[in-house]
Amino acid sequence: MFKILVSDPLAQEGVDILKKVKEFQVDVKHKLPPEELKKIIKDYDALLVRSETKVTKDIIEAAANLKVIGRAGVGLDNVDLTSASKRGIIVMNTPGGNTMSTAEHAVSLMLSLSRNIPQADVSVKKGEWERKKFMGTEVYGKTLGIIGLGRIGTEVAKRAIAFGIKVIAYDPFLSMDRANELGIESGELKEIFKRADYITVHSPLTADTKHIIDKNAIDCMKQGVRIINCARGGIIDEAAVLEGINSGKIAGAAFDVYEKEPPLKDNPLFKCDKVVLTPHLGASTEEAQINVAVEIADSVRDALLGCGIRNAVNVPCVDFELYKILQPYINLGEKVGALVSQLAKGRTQEIQIKYSGDVAKYNLSPITVAIVKGVLSPVLQETVNYVNSLIVAKERGIRVEEMRATMLEEYSSLISVEIKTDTGVRSVSGTLFTKKDARIVKIDEFHVDAIPEGYMIVAHNIDVPGIIGMMGTILGKNNINIAAMTFGREKPGGKTLSVLNVDSAVQEKVLNEIRNDKNILDATLIKL
């Protein structure tokens, strides 16, 4: 008998799927205090949540029997994924269940901004009749800039085109072929800021997307631009938007998500009549709630009954016995993919994967999906997983090629990943020492021996004395400890690649201090 706890409101259709299984005992307990959840979680095999329950490290450590955590939605901000993975707990989400609802909400907000619908509604209900005050603007013939062209961004684009709107999109993984297929234009951020009448964001919140729309970005925008955020709070700097509205630069803005949720009662957005606000309603439709409930219930049911794993963000979908064999290669492949992705510049067009030696004898598909997940995850975060990585790559027009060679002289197994972008080619190769000890052995043309974990600084420099001392001094004065280092060079006095493992994140100003040395060609911070 498996015990399942549903700790957040879930559509009854999903609960019913679980209750119909005779091997399951389903308990529905909402609004549990953290201490109460911590106390009872040891008795459960599966936990289903939405966004209210915070599945923290403490909760996971107390979950002695927990096998599956199911999130009825996309975001995993409320689940400690690292702790769950360390405990061998499968974490699942529903990446596609609320696509249509969120896309429709974004378009609704765009139309509301254009025609002042919320403000006019309030005015009429007060008994007023101020038609001139609420003069609107047509969306027909305007330009919509979309930042992030995943599932939701793509559906927004389709609906905008139906309105006669010109669409220009920015996505680091959007190929020109895919853009042409959708009937949109692919552009850089600065081009969107310069040309768009409306800007909507549909990307995950990452270090790179945090305040991607800030004061500097707004200064580059068209006069009278309108901005919409139905993605994640924090992608847009709310204070900068208010400043832009007050200055007349921005004609209006709409927020469904906020930097702090729920927003504080004294949030200045509440007092601005040119801002449309909704309480995180992107997925709040009857259809979306049923979709995510049914999808997560099906996934959790099948996982517990041994019928396969779907939509897992931390476990590939393979037979368990094969997984035990492939796990070291899967982990290595994902790290190789993430490393080369963070080194590459420009728009990814092709991912070439080469397996050599012993690893080439196995079923390689689980490793390939892990590599592609590694490539895409630094930008797409929780929207890409072991199930959908190849689909996401295909949707963006990225070619994935797989090759194998069983003969190898230098290493017993080698995984090499090459990324082709519109600006060049980068490659990384990795192997296993003692079958589990992952190592990066080659970056581009440089042979190295690097540990792929935590924070790494990868720097190209001229081979002259004092480079390591210089970097060590800069890191030391900023309280950043070097855990390991390795070097590769083409020839004495030529170009050298330096790889440093460090114990903590490195601020951009510290990286810039390293980059400013005349012998440093470039320096990149990697997070694995």
Give CA separation, 115 vs 161, 232, 274, 361, 497, in Å.
19, 25, 11, 62, 56
Confidence of residue 358 (pLDDT cuts 50, 70, 90): confident
Domain covering 454-528: architecture: 2-Layer Sandwich (3.30)
End-to-end CA distance of the chain: 38
Write out pLDDT tens, residues 29-69: 999 999 999 999 999 999 999 989 999 999 999 999 999 99
Residue 408 has pLDDT above 80, yes or no: no
Side-chain-facing half-sphere of 269: CA atoms under 13 Å: 25
Q: What is the pLDDT of residue 409?
A: 62
Residue 223 has pLDDT above 70, yes or no: yes
Place of tokens 């209210």: 52
Query: Can you say how many angstroms the Cα of residue 280 is from the centroid of all Cα atoms in its chain?
Result: 19
Average pLDDT of the chain is: 92
CA-based nearest residue to 328, from 415, 412, 436: 436
Q: What is the largest CA-CA distance in the chain?
A: 84
CA-based nearest residue to 203, from 280, 257, 148, 146: 148
CA-based nearest residue to 150, from 87, 95, 77: 95
Query: Can you say how many angstroms the Cα of residue 178 is from the centroid of all Cα atoms in its chain?
Result: 20
Q: What is the pLDDT of residue 88?
A: 74
Q: What is the pLDDT of residue 25?
A: 97
Q: What is the pLDDT of residue 492?
A: 79
**Ramachandran category for residue 127: left, alpha or beta (phi over 0 → left; psi -120 to 50 → alpha):** left
Please state the CATH superfamily assignment of the domain spanning residues 316-444 in this structure. Answer: D-3-phosphoglycerate dehydrogenase; domain 3 (3.30.1330.90)
Tell me the β-bridge partners of 144. 167, 198
> Are the beta carbons of 428 and 339 closer than 8 angstroms?
yes
Q: What is the DSSP string of 247-267?
A: HTSEEEEEESS-SSSSPPTT-
> Are the beta carbons of 300 and 4 closer than 8 angstroms?
yes
Q: What is the pLDDT of residue 316?
A: 67
CATH code: domain 1-96+286-314 is: 3.40.50.720
Confidence of residue 510 (pLDDT cuts 50, 70, 90): very high
Q: What is the pLDDT of residue 406?
A: 67
Confidence of residue 407 (pLDDT cuts 50, 70, 90): low
Q: What is the pLDDT of residue 486?
A: 93
Tell me the CATH class for 99-277: alpha beta
pLDDT over 70, % of the chain = 98
In CATH terms, are 1-96+286-314 and 316-444 the same topology? no
Domains of the chain, by residue range, sit at 1-96+286-314, 99-277, 316-444, 454-528
Distance CA 515, CA 471 (A): 10
Q: Among the listed ranges 19-23, 49-53, 92-96, 409-413, which one has the minimum average pLDDT value?
A: 409-413
Q: Is 61 exposed, middle or buried (0-12, 13-18, 19+ CB in 10 A)?
A: middle
Write out pLDDT tens, residues 447-487: 999 999 999 999 999 999 999 899 999 999 999 999 999 99
pLDDT over 90, % of the chain = 76
Distance CA 437, CA 432 (A): 5
Q: What is the pLDDT of residue 178?
A: 87
Q: Give the active site residues.
A: 232, 261, 280
Q: What is the pLDDT of residue 320?
A: 58
Residue 264: count of CB within 10 angstroms of its CB? 9
Arithmetic mean of pLDDT, 226-243: 96
Q: What is the pLDDT of residue 226?
A: 98
Helices 12-19, 286-304: axis angle to 10 degrees equals: 20
Arithmetic mean of pLDDT, 207-236: 95
Distance CA 143, CA 132 (A): 25
Residue 321 has pLDDT above 70, yes or no: no
